[in-house]
Structure 1
Amino acid sequence: MSRPSRRDESGQVTLLVIGFATVIAMAIVLVVDASAAYLQRSGLDTLADGAALHGADLGATGVDVYTGGVPEQRLALTQADAQRAVEEYLGSVGAYRSYPGLVAQVAVADGDTVQVELSAPLDLPLSFPGSPAGGRVAATGSAVSTIE
């Protein structure tokens, strides 16, 4: 009667541990990068809201109000003035230092609404081979300048 041969299973646990370690490392990279992207977008949201408020406030504190008085219905905002106010705000709070490559697009809608869209390159702290190298993150903010 012959005995059944036993296969040598040494090294199987090592392969399993390496596989699990790779999956755990990928999960850590995913969580860290997703958190970094969320925090960057959240910071851009705050900047976009502040820039829009600063641009809309321009209509309430501009020279026209002091020289011509407060209009009866709405404060007039021009595209050039709103763009200048937004750029001034972003420069004063250090947004261009915090987010290198920051791009601001400003629009004035209906003569009293300032809409600001900010976008910046996505700076991911970790990367995994084969993952995208980067991207852009964007945020929008808007504010209305009206008389009450």
Structure 2
Amino acid sequence: MRRDESGQVTLLVIGFATVIAMAVVLVIDASAAYLQRSGLDTLADGAALHGADLGATGVDVYTGGVPDQRLALTEADAQRAVEEYLRSVGAYASYPGLVAQVAIADGDTVRVELRAPLDLPLSFPGSPGGGTVAASGSAVSTVD
């Protein structure tokens, strides 16, 4: 007796198509996450440089001269400079929900950490909706 096996190939094709579609979504989302992190890395480095540059070009340098050891850096001034930089380059529009944290380490190092919601272009039903991507940068402001 011979069994009817029609429809078995259709099921196999549908299964392979689903696996290939999931692989494509994974590659596209991983690429998007990498590019977003890379963009935040660039912004964090630029923001840290801008914040450190504040000590070299601040009013204190023009009114009091360049100090012998370290340039004056305060966390509040560095935070303002970083936020000004991020606004000027359009970072808040490019990365909605962007949050910047600024810290001064050792009196002359500006550390910037940026966090933004991860915006994935594709997703499968039941997959995580998104996450957070973060990047950090630092710059030193010293007197040579």
Please indicate the TM-score interval, normalised by the length of the shorter structure. over 0.9
TM-fit CA distance, 1:41: 0.3
Aligned equivalents of 1:55, 1:112: Cα separation in 2? 11
Gaps of 5+ in 2: none
Instruction: From the CA coordinates, give the structure whose radius of gyration is larger.
Output: 1
Aligned equivalents of 1:130, 1:60: Cα separation in 2? 51
| Percent of matched pairs sharing the same residue | 90
Gaps of 5+ in 1: 1-5
Aligned equivalents of 2:82, 2:34: Cα separation in 1? 23
TM-fit CA distance, 1:111: 1.1
Structure 1 ranges of 4+ moved more than 3 A: none
TM-fit CA distance, 1:16: 0.3
Aligned equivalents of 1:9, 1:28: Cα separation in 2? 31
TM-fit CA distance, 1:45: 0.2
Q: How many residues align?
A: 143
TM-fit CA distance, 1:100: 0.4
CA RMSD across the alignment: 0.5
Q: Write out per-residue CA displacement over residues 13-63 of structure 1, whole angstroms, 9 at most, x where no aligned residue.
A: 000000000000000000000000000000000000000000000000001
- State the TM-score, normalized to the length of structure 2: 0.98
User: Is 1:38 equivalent to 2:31 in the alignment?
Assistant: no
Aligned equivalents of 1:129, 1:143: Cα separation in 2? 42
* Structure 1 SS opposite 2:67: coil
Aligned equivalents of 1:111, 1:59: Cα separation in 2? 11
User: Is 1:110 equivalent to 2:106 in the alignment?
Assistant: yes
* Structure 1 SS opposite 2:4: coil
